[in-house]
């Protein structure tokens, strides 16, 4: 008899449709994926854009009124792998390899029938944890928003976290951990203090758990 000692994927279901997958994919595959992301040509971008029209926002939380953004900490490194609305699709050999990994890994957990956006984010170490502005990944908020899924794959261990506006739910950063939730939930990321950087992969799609 062969005993499989590899860590198994576990799923914790929280309120508001939030799910947390530990050991999202096989560790050896995850390490290969991390090696691929190191070769991306990252770009400097703003973390939070306050120019969102009021009519596009949730009446319970309006970032242009409620958020206080410190411009000193509003910079990150980003890489768009896929953005249907902007016509961004994998085109290089590296991008195809990364996208292929994601398709394979996600298809083992989800039946996805439409990809919307895939974006990698990197923030850097700060002396204290800086929480960025709450936001949603689908604007404007429409009836489609609650049917779209946002997923955040944590790429490293750090004292940073993902936080949700509803009930102040906080999920600490943990390598190979995937968080999924309806795309109409306001959430925020942070910097970290105990690593040189904090990296996540943001995925948006239409689909259902298998």
Q: What is the 3-state secondary structure (H, E, C) of 67-98?
A: CCCCHHHCEEEEEEEEEHHHCECCCCHHHHHH
Q: Is 103 strand, coil or helix?
A: helix
**pLDDT on residue 179:** 98
- Per-residue confidence band for 61, with pLDDT thresholds at 50, 70 and 90: low
On the question of pLDDT at 64 being above 60, the answer is: no
Indicate the pTM of the whole model.
0.90
What does pLDDT average to over the chain? Answer: 88
Question: What mean pLDDT is predicted for residues 28-42?
Answer: 94
On the question of pLDDT at 207 being above 70, the answer is: yes
pLDDT digits (tens, 9 = 90+) for 116-165: 999 999 999 999 999 988 888 876 667 777 889 999 999 999 999 999 98
**Percent of the chain clearing pLDDT 90 (strictly above):** 70
Task: Report the alpha-carbon distance of residue 210 to residue 89 in Å, rounded.
Answer: 25
Residue appearing with tokens 């609650």: 146
**pLDDT on residue 22:** 96
Closest C-alpha among 120, 134, 131 to residue 52: 134
On the question of pLDDT at 69 being above 80, the answer is: no
Identify which has the larger pLDDT, 55 or 142. 142
**pLDDT on residue 205:** 96
- Rounded to a whole number of angstroms, the distance between the first and last alpha carbons of the chain is 29
Task: Report the alpha-carbon distance of residue 142 to residue 16 in Å, rounded.
Answer: 17
DSSP 132: P
Task: Report the alpha-carbon distance of residue 149 to residue 114 in Å, rounded.
Answer: 10
Q: Is 141 strand, coil or helix?
A: coil
Whether the CB-CB separation of 138 and 83 falls below 8 Å is answered with no
Encoding tokens for residue 205? 């799609």
* Cβ-based burial of 31 (10 A; exposed 0-12, middle 13-18, buried ≥19): exposed
Question: What mean pLDDT is predicted for residues 181-187?
Answer: 91
User: Could you tell me the domains of the chain?
Assistant: 17-209 (2.60.120.620)
- Per-residue confidence band for 50, with pLDDT thresholds at 50, 70 and 90: low
Residues 6+ positions from 194 with CB-CB distance below 8 Å:
125, 158, 159
């Amino acid at each position: 008899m062969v005993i499989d000692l590899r860590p198994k994927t576990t799923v914790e279901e929280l309120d508001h449709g939030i799910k947390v997958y530990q050991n999202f994919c096989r560790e050896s595959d995850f390490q290969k994926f991390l090696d691929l992301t190191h070769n991306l040509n990252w770009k400097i971008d703003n973390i939070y854009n306050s120019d969102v029209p009021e009519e596009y926002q949730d009446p319970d939380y309006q970032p242009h009124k409620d958020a206080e953004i410190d411009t000193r900490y509003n910079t990150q490194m980003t890489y768009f792998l896929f953005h249907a609305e902007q016509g961004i699709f994998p085109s290089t050999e590296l991008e195809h390899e990364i996208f292929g990994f994601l398709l394979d890994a996600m298809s083992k957990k989800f039946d996805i029938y439409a990809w919307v956006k895939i974006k990698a984010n990197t923030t850097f170490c700060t002396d204290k944890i800086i929480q960025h502005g709450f936001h949603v990944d689908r604007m404007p908020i429409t009836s489609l928003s609650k049917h779209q899924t946002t997923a955040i794959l944590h790429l490293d261990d750090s004292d940073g976290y993902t936080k949700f506006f509803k009930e102040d739910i906080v999920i600490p950063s943990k390598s190979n951990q995937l968080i999924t939730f309806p795309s109409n939930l306001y959430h925020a990321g942070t910097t970290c203090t105990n690593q040189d950087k904090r990296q996540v992969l943001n995925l948006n799609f239409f689909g259902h758990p298998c």
